[in-house]
Amino acid sequence: MERGARVLRPDRGQLCWDMVDLDSQIEADHPARVVWGFVEGLQLDELYASIKAREGVPGRPTPDPRLYLALWLYATIEGIGSARALERLCRQHAAYRWLCGRVPVNYHDLSDFRSGAGAVLDRLLGESVAALVAEGLVHELPGPHARFDGNLERHHHFTCTGCGRIVDVDGPLCDPSTRAVSVRVAALT
């Protein structure tokens, strides 16, 4: 009697508990840590005053405005302006997950915070980016639009012609893999 091979098949429907130390997921000098340290030092009384959830009163607590400001500041530095894209990064990217510190965020709340804080947030983001640039913690990228880069290591940038997103490319532009990517991108355009 012939028997079939015994194999382990993927079971993507199985629930599991992941034990992850968020602090170990990004380097000690990662720009997300710089942004968080910077935001921790800001006076945000205007943002805290608008929170309706208060100690000793029924109701669901809201995520800390300091978290939302840090997320939007880091996203601004990374060239992200969409609440949906930011929500996705908060689930998928280690730096954004580290900033969230397991506080759940969704695009609707991110968008509400951005529009609700309006002029205060615009002022804070502008002042914060300017301060980070002045301290040499962020570089302004050349171009027609205001874009910033928190990666201070020597590197190059790849700009998506479809969405405008800028991605860091480490290493020299003349290595074979970079040339291969350039050829493939050129063929698509």
Segment 16-75, tens digit of pLDDT? 677 888 888 899 988 899 889 988 998 888 888 887 888 877 777 888 888 999 999 898
Unique residue bearing structure tokens 């510190």: 101
Please give the average per-residue pLDDT across 79-103, as a whole number. 91
> DSSP character for 4?
P
Query: Of 36 and 175, which is predicted with more confidence?
Result: 36
Closest among 75, 50, 62 to 103, alpha carbons compared: 62
pTM of the model: 0.68
pLDDT tops 90 at residue 8: no
Rg (CA), the chain: 21
Beta-bridge partner residues of 156 = 169
Cβ neighbour number for residue 107 with a 10 Å cutoff? 15
